[in-house]
Structure formats: C-alpha cells, structure tokens
Amino acid sequence: MTVKRYRDVAEMPPPPPGRPHDPMTFARIRELWQFSSRLVPPLFRPGVYRYRSIEDSADAREHATIERIRALGEARKR
C-alpha cells in the first residue's frame, strides 16, 4: 500500500468496492460495531421492542438517533 497525495479532496477517487461475498466483511462489520459501541451509547436499552410496521420501527430509530445526538451534545459541552 502506497501513500497517495491529492491537492483537493475532490480529486480523491472513491474507495474501491468491497469484494462481494467476502466472509471478512462480517468480521469488519463486527469490529466496527465494537468500535462504535465504545464511541457512543447504544440507541436502545437492551430488551425487545415491538412495532406494527417497519415505518414505525424506522420512526423509533430516528427519534432515538435525534435524542442521542442531543444528549451527546449536552454531555460534551460540560
């Protein structure tokens, strides 16, 4: 792997696509989950949540995300 330099971020090519069906993808995702769990609190407390539709589920996620952003902002101001 070499270091490539660019004069502007717009010149940077997009990252190469991942290799389809690479079992390592799961390992990388697992690492990302573990890393992100150290960076930010989880959106939901452990447990089971029931929704009447995928839209209700998405709304709950969106609400929890906004709440987390607000709480993180408050906590980091202190």
Partner 1 sequence: MIGGVAVSFHGIVRATEDLDVFVKPDADNVARLRAALHAVYDDPSIDEITASDLCGEYPAVRYVPPGEGPPMDILTRLGERFRFADLERERYDVDGQPVSVATPATLYQMKRSTVRPIDHADAARLAEAFGLGEEPR
Which residues bind to partner 1, rule: CB under 8 A? 17-23, 25-26, 28-29, 32-34, 36-37, 42-58, 60
Choice between 6 and 26, CB closer to partner 1 = 26
Number of Cβ atoms within 10 Å of the Cβ of 60? 14
CA distance 48 to 55: 17
Angle, alpha carbons 49-53-56 (nearest 5°)? 65
**Token pair belonging to 76:** 């980091």
Choice between 8 and 15, CB closer to partner 1 = 15
At closest approach, how far in Å is the CB of 12 from partner 1?
17
Choice between 37 and 72, CB closer to partner 1 = 37
